[in-house]
Every structure is written in structure tokens, then in C-alpha cells.
Structure 1
């Protein structure tokens, strides 16, 4: 019996001149895919988890962390089956999330997906600027307390730090594409693990020094400055924070596209998702719950801002956050640059502004010349400046993170994967699978709406009590 293409080994395919059915050689395994998945999931959202658990308490907090993990894993499996269409084993490959949407749902849904995906990308960039500035201010403040004492006046303004971060990103934004900043991306991934583990260690140390568990069954108590409505809006916002921490689906197809076959890519990706989300969930539950046990209902919005000693370790963690976000800003920004530059260059194919390449000599660097177009130089710089200005106007870490989670959770994590799976599997309206998946999508939509409402209300409330362009910690 003749072997099918998918049953041939990589060596056999390479001996025939190419490794896979589309001509690309893929070497990814379940372990490389797991590493990519963990790197994609773990990010600055982990810093908001103790605060999020504090808004819900000891029952709803851990339950929400686990529920989001289960939903993310389930929909990731559905999405894995859509990597090849119309058959998950022998169908045509889809190299990106939008390719899957196009193949399964058509061009109209591609437009809707693009709105959600690029809104999330840009919103995340704004959130990263705020987080980086917060970490810079935290370093300044912890050093102030260390040298002047805990009773010293150590309030610090973040505008200078926002501007410094923006200057670095202005330079990095001129790199032509993601391939040219691979080293920065790898360093950023390593830094995310560094500050995440330091945060967990600091929380464990504080919990041990307290000699008791903090926190309550229902979370933050009503009274004083916390009214019933404030508690409700904060709880909704916490939903968005937790959902944002598990953001993963929009990168899953790109990860799956690196996996070699056999076994089938969807089978390998499902194992990688189980390992990646499983490890991340254990870590998230540990940080969220131990952080809450250590700080109780007074858990800070960014857990690292709650520590001042040992100041050198706190500084290392905050530096790791800053380095991570410098690279992550570009990872999220480069797809946006590529999208509008492609569109504009096709719209005006003869324009010097978009097509003429200029060269600037660089005597001490390789390559020896910096190549650029006026479009890239001006529009990318303007985009970075606009992002920094928005971050200055909305310096609210938790509210912005909650809003990003709301934007990502329903459309990108649940709705599109569920809809694409039902289209590919030909699940008809009224079948039990259709009912279950539609109910899951409806619940996710409700969570996103509530999370968005809580975050928007908090942003509006804070804007009434803040001076524009006066970011303080």
C-alpha cells in the first residue's frame, strides 16, 4: 500500500527536495511549540493577578483563573483543528489566524477579525508603555525609600520615563520587520520569565513573614472609599485582567505553522496547548493566590509596586519588565506597520514617499548603511508618538489591561475559534454541539461586555481626578 504524503518522514520528504507539502521545512516539535505557547501567554498581565483575585475573593478569584484556563484550552483545541482546511489532517495549510478566518468564514469576517486583532495589538502597545513607565517609577521610588527611609516623600512623575521609553521605541521601530529583531524578542521572552518568578518569590517571602493568610471569601469589602457599585465595577474589571493574562489564541496558528508532521500538526498542537496552558495556569494561580494571601484586599494593581525591599531584587524585576516591554512593544507593533505600509504602497504604487529607498551611512555598524523610505521614517515615528501620547492621557494600568482582555476574550479567544470549528465540522444549527458551543460563545460575550464596562467606568472615573499628562505613582 502506498504511503500518503502525511505519513512520510521528514527525511523522506527532504530527500525528494522539500520537507512539507507547501515547500517549507518545519522542525517544530511538541516541546518547541510548548515553549512558544508559554512565552506567548506569560506576560505583563501576570502582575495584575493578585489585585484581580482581591476584587473577587477566595472563591470567585481562583475559580475565574481556572475557568479562563479551561475555556482557553478548549477553544485552542478547536482552533488547532482549523489549521488545515477543509480537512484537519490533509487540508490546505493556513499560515496565520486571519488565513483561517478567511478559509472558514469568508472575507467579511476577516474584516471584523482585523478590527479586533489590530485594536488589541495597538491597545496592548499602549498598555505596555504604561506598564514600563510604572516599573521605571517603581525603581525610582524603591531606591528613594531605601536611602531616605520609608517615611520619605517619594512620589515620582512618570512623564519623563514615558518619553524615554518612546525614544527607544522610535529607534527600534525603524527595523524593517520582526526577523530583524529576533534577538530582542528572545531577550524579552527571557525577561518575562525573570520578573514573573521574582514576583512569585517576593509574594512567598511576604506571606511567610506575615505568619498568616490575608484576604476574605468575598474579596474587597464595601465601606470607606469602596461603594457597592465600585466593588462591582472592579470585579468586572478583574475579569478582563484575568482574560488578558490568558491571551493566546491569536498566536496559536503561527505557532502551529512551525510544527513538523507526522504526527498531524493538530495533534501535536493540542498536546503543546495542554502543556503550555497547564504550566501557565499553575503559575498564574500561584501568583494570584499567594499574592492575595500576602497582601489581602490591599493587593496593589501592579504587584511589583507593593515591594520596596530587598530593593536590589525589586529593581532587577522592574528592569526585567522594562526590557521585556521594549521588545514586546515592537513584536506587537511590527504587524501594524506592515499592514498599513502594504496597503499604502499598493494604493500609490508610483509614489516616491512610499517606494524610494534612501541610504544613510553607518560607519561602525553592520550593515554599513541604514535603508529607509520616507513612509517608514515618518509614519512609524508618528505612530509611536501617538501611542505614547495616549498612554500619557490614560495612565491606568489595571483599567487598560482589563479593557484589553475584554477586547481579546470573546472575539479572538472564543467567537472566531468556535465559529470556524462549527463551519469546518459542518455542525448544523440545532445540533447538541451547536447548542453547547453557542452557549459558550454567549457566556464569553457576556464576560467581555462586563469586563469592558468595568474598565471603561474606571477609566472615566479616574479621568475626573487626574491631570492630563501628569502620570504619578
Structure 2
């Protein structure tokens, strides 16, 4: 649930900020209104749109939304790398990494980078939950279409960071379209990453009350979740500076929890090869998570961070 909630907070920050950028690009800011919405208000506009769309009941019902999100993701990633290749390198910009003055600092920088990568792929575990909703048999296993579905977006997404270097040299139409596609993708992704939390809360209600969750309660749960994430986004707008640290906390979900869950469900014989492998992998994953967290804290202390609560 903390992975789901944290991802939705990050999506609100990204989606709201992109809405603001889209407004400034298309409308020209003060040219349309002398008092444009604040960043917090853009977060709220994005959250309202996401909450309305979150009323779809389950993963199967948001298949169309997911498809739209995937198409827009591939589209804006393609636009970004095409613009980057067409514009070339920006003059006066150094592409050399900034190295730390000490050996331990350089090591911690590398570990912090691993945490940032882990944060970037924090939600990929939900692929397993999506795959579980697909029909599967021996002749037509579900992992085949799932693999095809995620291959292209994953390959294209790694180039998205190039966008920021060409903001002043690119057509406003392209910048506006790219921002619009990012907004649509973020709203679509909110539904996918929020669904595990919705399902968990509603299933607990069903198990306790022995009856389906009523529609009004489902709507209330999803609205409270969405606006709770909005509150966190406004309260902690500097969360992007903590990506390495958050990635360190997210690592066990991929590298440790699956091994421990397998041990708990399968209960292999103690000291058997599968028992040793899973305990070794799970323990190593937890150890790597601790090391990345320590490295990220060191980098934060070394470089400093500007904290601004409730001031996005």
C-alpha cells in the first residue's frame, strides 16, 4: 500500500506541475489571466480529474484507460527523443558528471543513483497484479502478451529525461502536445497504481461485513485516498529530492519480499537448495536496501536539501 500511495503522490506532483507547464506554454500565463492558478491549485485540478476517473471499479474496467495511457507514454517518449536528436546538444552545457571529492562520496553517489533507478521503476511490481487478471493456460500463457505489452514502453521511457535540455529551442506546439500527453498518461497511471489500495480496502470491508462494498462507500474510499495523496503532495513538494532514499525503501518489494513470500507459501525443506537460494537472495536484497538508504542519507547531508512544507 505504501508503494501505491507513494507512487500516486509522485504522479500528482508530476501531473499538476505538467498542467502548469501546459498552461504557460499554450496560454502564455498572464496573457490569459492576471491571476493564474498556483501550483497547489494545479495539483488539486489534477487530483479531481484522477478521483473522478478512479470510480471505475477494477483493473478490468480500466483496460481502455490503461491503453490510452500506454499510447500517450509511447507517443511523448518518441517525441522527446526525436526532438533531442533533431536539436542536438545544447551549447554551453557540460555533460560531464560532477564527481565527489572523496572516494567514499563517489561510492555513495553510485549507490544513491541505484536508489533513483529503483524509484523510477517503483511500480513495475503491479505488472504481476495486472497479469493475474488475464486468461492463461498451458497453450496461451498470460506472460507472453504481457511481455509484448511492456517491452516498447519500457524501451522508450528511458529517454524521457532528455526533454528538459531543449525547452527554449523547440516549437511551442510540440512542447504543448508533449505536456498534454504526459498529463493524460499521469491520470491513467494514477488509476493503475491506486487500484491495489482500493482493492485491499474494499476486500477487507467485504471480508468483515460479508457483503459487497456499496457504491457510495467505494466512491468515498477512492475520494479520500486521492485527496489524501493530494495533501501529501502539497505538504511534501520536495519529495523529488528524496528519490534515492525512497528508492532504497522500495527495493525490498522487488528484491526481498518475493523470496520471503515464496518461503512462507511453499515451505521448502530447511537447508535445501531452494531454501538456501531464497534466503540468500532475500537477505541480500534487504542488505542492499539498507546500504542504498544509508548512501542516500549521506548524499542528502553532503549536498543539502531545501525543505519547504506546504509550499509547492
Cross-structure match for 1:269: 143
Cross-structure match for 1:194: 75
1:280: Cα distance to partner? 6.1
Q: Does 1:241 align with 2:116?
A: yes
Equivalent-residue separation in structure 2 for 1:179 and 1:277 (angstroms): 17
Paired residue secondary structure (2:256): helix
1:458: Cα distance to partner? 7.6
Task: Rate the CA distance shift 1:318–1:392 in 2: closer, same or farther, 3 A.
Answer: same
Task: Rate the CA distance shift 1:459–1:342 in 2: closer, same or farther, 3 A.
Answer: farther
Task: Rate the CA distance shift 1:468–1:418 in 2: closer, same or farther, 3 A.
Answer: closer
Cross-structure match for 2:287: 446
2:134 pairs, out of 258, 265, 270, with 258
Cross-structure match for 2:226: 384
For structure 1, the residue ranges without an aligned partner over 5 or more in a row are: 1-117, 149-154, 292-302, 358-371
Cross-structure match for 1:416: 257
Paired residue secondary structure (1:337): helix
Cross-structure match for 1:307: 167
Equivalent-residue separation in structure 2 for 1:421 and 1:272 (angstroms): 22
Equivalent-residue separation in structure 1 for 2:227 and 2:73 (angstroms): 25
Instruction: Tell me, yes or no, if the aligned pair for 1:394 and 1:459 is still in contact at 8 Å.
Output: no
1:137: Cα distance to partner? 2.8
Instruction: Tell me, yes or no, if the aligned pair for 1:237 and 1:399 is still in contact at 8 Å.
Output: no
Instruction: Tell me, yes or no, if the aligned pair for 2:119 and 2:243 is still in contact at 8 Å.
Output: yes
Q: TM-score, normalised by structure 2?
A: 0.74
Equivalent-residue separation in structure 2 for 1:462 and 1:142 (angstroms): 32
Equivalent-residue separation in structure 2 for 1:376 and 1:146 (angstroms): 38
Q: Does 1:171 align with 2:52?
A: yes
For structure 2, the residue ranges without an aligned partner over 5 or more in a row are: none
Instruction: Tell me, yes or no, if the aligned pair for 2:241 and 2:305 is still in contact at 8 Å.
Output: no
Cross-structure match for 1:136: 19
Instruction: Tell me, yes or no, if the aligned pair for 1:146 and 1:311 is still in contact at 8 Å.
Output: no
Cross-structure match for 1:221: 99
Paired residue secondary structure (1:215): coil
Pairs aligned (count): 305
Equivalent-residue separation in structure 1 for 2:150 and 2:64 (angstroms): 25
Equivalent-residue separation in structure 2 for 1:320 and 1:232 (angstroms): 37
Q: TM-score, normalised by structure 1?
A: 0.52
1:276: Cα distance to partner? 6.7
Residue deviations 1:145-164 (CA, integer Å, cap 9, x gap):
8999xxxxxx9941110111
Equivalent-residue separation in structure 2 for 1:136 and 1:328 (angstroms): 15
1:386: Cα distance to partner? 1.3
Equivalent-residue separation in structure 1 for 2:304 and 2:42 (angstroms): 20
Task: Rate the CA distance shift 1:324–1:439 in 2: closer, same or farther, 3 A.
Answer: same
Task: Rate the CA distance shift 1:160–1:392 in 2: closer, same or farther, 3 A.
Answer: same
For the aligned residue pairs, the C-alpha RMSD in angstroms reads 4.3
1:315: Cα distance to partner? 1.8
Structure with a larger share of its residues in helix: 2
Aligned pairs for 1:18-97 (under 5 A) are none
1:407: Cα distance to partner? 3.7
Instruction: Tell me, yes or no, if the aligned pair for 1:131 and 1:397 is still in contact at 8 Å.
Output: no
